[in-house]
Amino acid sequence: MFGLPFDGSGRFYRGNIHCHSTNSDGRLSPAEVIARYRAEGYDFLALTDHFIERYDYPVSDTTEFRTDGFTTLFGAELHAPALDNGQNWHIVAVGLPLDFPPTGDQESGPELAARAIAAGAFVGIAHPAWYGVKMRDVEAIEDAHAIEIFNTGHQADADRGDGWYMADLMTTEGRRILGYAADDAHFNGRPDHFGGWVMVQAGEPTPEALLEALKDGQFYSSQGPTIEHVGIDGDQVVVRCSPASSIHAAGRPPLNRFVHAEPGETVTEARFPIVAFAGESCRITVVDERGRRAWTNPFWLDAWGPGIG
């Protein structure tokens, strides 16, 4: 179902879909960035260099770095005027064609995003807390797939890496929006890498299958913990995960339920009554003993018939 990747077949692939290289303002070459992620155990990466004139509008062709156990998606971080506060938009687009045309003279951020979506890309609103995105801004990008709910780099430099507040507000407004974690790595001195990623469920680790799975919400995000299953068992939402200090279900604000392990112990399963969420949306957070989190996308209990698990 949309927003949850636990009822399909296939396996999970770990990826980072927001990072930079010397094709824009990153410190490492594309080859070095990809080598670092591959060595860290990632299955795929999207280079998303800044798509602006100064860098000659790069959509990096990373085909040569695809190997048996590792693949790449083509992407860019798109920029155009302007948020309500005057800042230029930052829009992550993954799955772009290599010949995606440069930003037009009069093109706005929402128009550029619409063009990326029409070209087949998965489009995310990058780091909303870091540069002050307002609800009136995101409402103008009607078809964006996702909000960046965690950004490692801007957690490291501004303590503004979290985007869940905006995603929750949009969900409350009825938008079926996804949430992804990403590094925004530049390798330029901040600890901005290997801090948050997506786990995408796909039948095979091809760029096409991974891109479709992203658009379909067949992924969750993590800083470390594994979410093994989220489903329905009778009148309960059941969660199974790697050993955790706490497991949380958050519905329409302020509805929530949680399980905390006893001090020094861990839990690997939680059950929450569906009725607590009034048939609306819900999302799950798993927190491990080191404080690292994993998050499901928001999912909608109204789409779930009884007995489906």
User: From the CB of 272, what's the least distance to Zn ion, in Å?
Assistant: 35
What tokens appear for 81 in the block? 């005027």
Which of 184, 288 has the CB closer to Zn ion? 184
End-to-end CA distance of the chain: 11
Residue with CB nearest Zn ion? Answer: 90
Nearer to Zn ion, 23 or 245 (CB): 23
Whichever of 43 and 184 has its CB closer to Zn ion, that residue is 184
Q: Which residues bind Zn ion (CB under 5 A)?
A: 77, 90, 126, 184
With contact defined as beta carbons under 8 Å apart, do 285 and 297 qualify?
no
Toward Zn ion, which CB reaches closer, 77 or 216? 77
CB of 90 to Zn ion, least distance (A): 3
- Find tokens 């995003």 and name the residue: 113
Q: Residue 16 CB, nearest distance to Zn ion (Å)?
A: 11
Grouping H, G, I as helix, E, B as strand and the rest as coil, residue 171 is helix
| Measured CA distances, 159 to 131, 221, 231, 252 (Å) | 12, 19, 33, 25
Least distance between Zn ion and beta carbon 94 (Å): 12
**Minimum CB distance to Zn ion, residue 126 (Å):** 5
Nearer to Zn ion, 164 or 304 (CB): 164
Q: Is 233 left (phi over 0), alpha (psi -120 to 50) or beta?
A: beta
Give dist(CA 205, CA 266) in Å, integer.
32
